[in-house]
Structure 1
Amino acid sequence: MTRFPRRHVAGFTLVEVLVALAIVAVAMSAAVRAAGVATQGSGLLRDRSLALLAARSELAEVQLQGRLRGGREVRDCDQGRLRLACVREVTRDGELFSVRLEVHPRDAEGPPLARLNARLPVPDAGAVRP
């Protein structure tokens, strides 16, 4: 039986290539996961910013109306494609009205995306309906 002499061949073995591919696959899955978390975080930040804008708009509307009624009111206050519900609670505290605004997503349960509290002076007695 004739034996051929083994020559030293430069290169990688199949096992080394498979280990390298496994390492690259784990690294790529971690990168995709990190990108997903970053995207989700920026989406929540966008929703909170739009909710705060809606709350400020509601407060400006309350100030411009000139008449305040005590009680609780829930209204739709959409911002673009974001469906929001604004909850307005007005209570009278002496010479001031206390206005509390909360903005929630309309289609989901959970904590409010934005809260805003303000104390406004009582307008003329003829315009007030406590």
Structure 2
Amino acid sequence: MKQLKNLLEESSLKITPQRLAILKELEKKGHASIEEIYEDIRDFFPSISLATIYKNITALKDENIISEICLHHKPKFEITKEPHAHFICKKCGKVEDVPFNELIKGEIDKQYPDSQKELYIYGICKECKEKES
């Protein structure tokens, strides 16, 4: 929790219980939609509105504390970290981080300096493949 407070302290945002709860959910889930965050946070903040979640997600994103993963059907969010790719399951929608190797990262940096790096890999996750068998 202290690490999450540090993320807010290093920004221009106030530390609020709602923001900490959002970050805690993202830390726990890895990747989550606004609706998933809202459903889980309502257990702790029954009076919280979806509009409050949207407002705080936007503020956290504007401060680069969290990043948006642009999926075809519904964006998900994660705590910002080193550049990496995302594997997205075409069956269940699960999102997993995939590290960039240094060769790919170096080549992207060389050809496109000062760019935002987003790489999406689509396929079927291990769990969905096992269900097919």
TM-score under structure 1 normalisation?
Answer: 0.28
Structure of larger gyration radius: 1
The structure whose residues are more often strand, as a share, is: 1
